[in-house]
Amino acid sequence: MKGVQAVRCMFMVFFFIVSSVLPGLQIHASQTNLVSDSILYTEVTYPFHLNNSQFKEKTSEASTDESTTVVEPQGESYTISQQGPCGLLNSSWPMASHDTRHTGLSPYSTADSPGIIKWRLFVSAYPIDGGIAIDQNGTLYFGSDDRYMNAAYPNGTMKWRYSVDDWIETTPAIGSDGTVYAGCWDGHLYAFNPNGTLKWAHTCGPAITYGSPCISDDGTIYTTVMDPGSCLIALNSNGTEKWRFQTGWYVTSAPVIALDGTIIFGSADTYIYAVNPNGTQRWHYKTGDRVMGSSSIAADGTVYMPSWDGYLYALSPSDGSLVWRCRIGSGSKVNPSIGPDGTIYVGGKDVYAIYPNGTIRWTYTLDSRSFVEWSSPAVSHDGIIYFGTNIGDNGGGRIYAINPDGTERWEQLLVGRGYIDSSPAIDADGIIYIGTTNIGPCYLYAFGRGPLIVDAYGPYTGFYQKPVQFTTDAFGGTPPYTYHWDFGDGNSSDQQNPSHTYSTVGNYTASVTVTDDDGNHTTDAAAVCIVYEHPAVEITKPLHYIYILNHQILSYRHALAFGPITIEATANQTPFGVAHVDFLLNDILKATDTQPPYQWTWRALSKGQNRVSVIAYDPSGNSTRADIWVYKYF
């Protein structure tokens, strides 16, 4: 995680320098829009492999390769209001932490959710650090660090993607007219139409627009900006700016709207701020360290805010006076969430449940390496708490489900090398969504009951008489699962991820059938192409030694030769063997050998560094090359 933070800091410095030198820097967002029969829809070429019919029901046609084109159905239309104010959309999870008070409390039950992965959607090789917003149709909106804003269908297929100029790590907010707002590291707050076209983009400053946006009842959009800028910004619904409220240092805290319309947020200058809707300060409260997380507002208006000083603060909404403070370890950067009974949940080194009077109800202790970095809890109507964790130094990440009494309901390791900063979201049908950050593919996950799905992945390419590794995953249904692979050559395996060696080159179809605990089964297939392996070649002399008159003397950091030196190599190919081996000096052919041992004696006078190359050919002309730098004198 430290490495990721360092990279982010370098991007911040670079963006500040470029913006200072080029104040007229323009954004370059791109989207392909097509018009057919006067209906606007969006086409995106999306490079990942989908096999299952459940995943394909929203696509225009099944793709036969790894590039799947996702086309929004022409029958789907939107009514976009261009006039008058609009507040927050009335949907299952329209913004960060569910609502403008940031309670993180869903009105829907997840009691029937058994912790089964319903599906997972590959997004890119870059993190999904923000949370997910859900509209009234179940469409999922989220950003990703490959510089895209994303929209996905609730069945786990991508709806559209929109390219921006930097990372989107905020959780989007959806207006009542369907407009989707998201802040970006390029310094803009973007407004997208539900069909994936850009409505407007407002320049908030050269700094990162970090705070997840919040929409008031009159349609004002609030967001926050890091350093330089360090402020709260209010925008009209048409993208024009109303006012800015400056703080003393950078701001990562997202704005929250109190019961009377006051905007609450924190700053790294150690203060918690309350700002009137006209942009004037109402009150501020000083904590003992940076305030990096966001607040939540209780039903009676009490403001809950964590600080990096190790306390959760409860403040009076009228004047910001201290009601109580509760020790929560070393501090927290997450948004506290509020359960249906008023219990406050906040993560840090561990996860704490706190009574409304400021006393600890229980502590869920994470293992010694784990902590909650940015993942704010989501609480279901029945009081089940969901959050993601970071297992230190990119050691992985888990999602947890905790019962209201502090006992573990279930947990799953989702990331082996990475972390989970994404905050969960809960849909109306009790599905829990969360994103992941991985050193490798990053996914959006859906947890809940669903049809049994299996993915054979592929296509696979392998070599004659060499093992091919097969991989599969099953989702939905009722675990545990059993697996049966048919490799297409008369052989099979009951392992989940078997390897198999083909004895004949050619094209095969491998299929995997998965059966769940209820006896349901489904099958998926993948193409397999087996070819002859190219020749293998290795230079065996010279290596990193000093050679004098072709004799090895002692080890050295380079290959260093004084006088003539014999270049020796081994080469082989199965089943046809090696036709010949070429020896090149600085890419100029010097000798060809057709029989082992393959060698060439370099006698010519030389001074300094030279590249020696050995290329082995099979009878079909396929070749493999090996190189070594040799320092030769005399």
Looking at the structure, tell me whether residues 526 and 542 fall in a common domain: no
Looking at the structure, tell me whether residues 160 and 215 fall in a common domain: yes
Q: How far apart are CA 39 and CA 199, in angstroms?
A: 17
Q: How far apart are CA 104 and CA 424, in angstroms?
A: 9
Q: Give, in degrees to the nearest 5, the angle at Cα 444 between 378 and 168.
A: 85
Rounded average pLDDT over 350-379: 95
State yes or no: pLDDT of 77 exceeds 50.
Answer: no
DSSP label of 105 = B
Q: How far apart are CA 48 and CA 69, in angstroms?
A: 10
- What's the token pair of residue 146? 């490959």
Looking at the structure, tell me whether residues 496 and 619 fall in a common domain: no
CATH number of domain containing 567: 2.60.40.10
Averaged pLDDT of the chain? 87
Looking at the structure, tell me whether residues 347 and 312 fall in a common domain: yes
Q: How far apart are CA 96 and CA 102, in angstroms?
A: 7
Q: What is the pLDDT of residue 19?
A: 38
Rounded average pLDDT over 542-546: 97
Burial of 38 (0-12, 13-18, 19+ CB in 10 A): exposed
DSSP-derived secondary structure for 238-259: TS-EEEEEE-SS---PPPEE-T
State yes or no: pLDDT of 17 exceeds 70.
Answer: no
pLDDT tens for residues 263-300?
A: 999 999 999 999 999 999 999 999 999 999 999 999 99
Domain boundary among 447, 482, 514: 447
pLDDT tens for residues 482-497?
A: 999 999 999 999 999 9
State yes or no: pLDDT of 359 exceeds 60.
Answer: yes
Any residues with CB less than 8 A from the CB of 437 and at least 6 apart, and which? Answer: 4, 127, 128, 129, 145, 397, 415, 418, 419, 420, 421, 422
Q: How far apart are CA 516 and CA 118, in angstroms?
A: 13
Burial of 623 (0-12, 13-18, 19+ CB in 10 A): middle
Rounded average pLDDT over 159-164: 97
Looking at the structure, tell me whether residues 437 and 473 fall in a common domain: no
Looking at the structure, tell me whether residues 434 and 478 fall in a common domain: no
**Band of residue 55 on the pLDDT scale cut at 50, 70, 90:** very low
**Band of residue 73 on the pLDDT scale cut at 50, 70, 90:** very low
Please name which of 495, 438, 443 lies closest in space to residue 472, comparing C-alpha atoms: 495
Strand boundaries in 516-556, DSSP class E: 521-531, 536-541, 545-548, 551-555
Looking at the structure, tell me whether residues 476 and 403 fall in a common domain: no
- Tell me how many domains the chain contains: 3
**Band of residue 29 on the pLDDT scale cut at 50, 70, 90:** very low
Q: How far apart are CA 183 and CA 209, in angstroms?
A: 5
- What's the token pair of residue 99? 């609502």
Q: How far apart are CA 365 and CA 311, in angstroms?
A: 17
Which of 53-57, 116-120, 324-328, 371-375 comes out lowest in average pLDDT?
Answer: 53-57
Q: How far apart are CA 119 and CA 155, in angstroms?
A: 8
Burial of 149 (0-12, 13-18, 19+ CB in 10 A): buried
Q: What is the pLDDT of residue 86?
A: 76
Burial of 45 (0-12, 13-18, 19+ CB in 10 A): exposed
Q: How far apart are CA 220 and CA 500, in angstroms?
A: 60
State yes or no: pLDDT of 395 exceeds 60.
Answer: yes
Domain boundary among 513, 531, 549: 531
User: Does an H or E element contain 14, and which?
Assistant: helix 2-21
Render the burial of 361-383: b for 16+ CB within 10 Å, e for the rest. beebebeeebbbbbbbbbbbbbb
State yes or no: pLDDT of 70 exceeds 70.
Answer: no
Q: How far apart are CA 205 and CA 213, in angstroms?
A: 15
Asked if residue 466 lies in contact with residue 500, where contact means CB atoms within 8 angstroms, the answer is no
Asked if residue 295 lies in contact with residue 305, where contact means CB atoms within 8 angstroms, the answer is yes
User: Does an H or E element contain 234, and which?
Assistant: strand 231-235
Looking at the structure, tell me whether residues 260 and 405 fall in a common domain: yes
State yes or no: pLDDT of 576 exceeds 60.
Answer: yes
Rounded average pLDDT over 572-592: 96
Share of the chain above pLDDT 90, in %: 80
Looking at the structure, tell me whether residues 488 and 427 fall in a common domain: no
Q: What ranges in 22-75 are assigned the alpha helix state H?
A: 53-56
**Band of residue 216 on the pLDDT scale cut at 50, 70, 90:** very high
Residues facing residue 400 across a β-bridge? 387, 411
**Band of residue 599 on the pLDDT scale cut at 50, 70, 90:** very high
Rounded average pLDDT over 48-65: 29
CATH number of domain containing 179: 2.130.10.10
Identity of residue 123: V
Tokens 């704490």: give the residue.
352
**Band of residue 35 on the pLDDT scale cut at 50, 70, 90:** very low
Q: How far apart are CA 186 and CA 227, in angstroms?
A: 13
Tokens 């946006």: give the residue.
213
Cis peptide before 575 (omega within 30 of 0): yes
Looking at the structure, tell me whether residues 509 and 558 fall in a common domain: no
Other Cβ atoms closer than 10 A to 286 = 11
Q: How far apart are CA 43 and CA 556, in angstroms?
A: 58
DSSP label of 12 = H
Looking at the structure, tell me whether residues 180 and 329 fall in a common domain: yes
Q: How far apart are CA 553 and CA 362, in angstroms?
A: 70
Domain boundary among 389, 424, 447: 447
Identity of residue 422: S
Residues shown for the chain:
634
Q: How far apart are CA 522 and CA 514, in angstroms?
A: 6
For residues 167, 173, 174, 179, the Cα torsion angle rounded to the nearest 10 degrees is -50
Q: How far apart are CA 314 and CA 357, in angstroms?
A: 9
State yes or no: pLDDT of 32 exceeds 90.
Answer: no
Please name which of 568, 583, 577, 574 lies closest in space to residue 615, comparing C-alpha atoms: 583
- What's the token pair of residue 8? 């982010």
Q: What is the pLDDT of residue 27?
A: 33
Q: Which domain holds residue 460?
A: 453-531
Looking at the structure, tell me whether residues 485 and 588 fall in a common domain: no
Q: What is the pLDDT of residue 25?
A: 33
Share of the chain above pLDDT 70, in %: 87
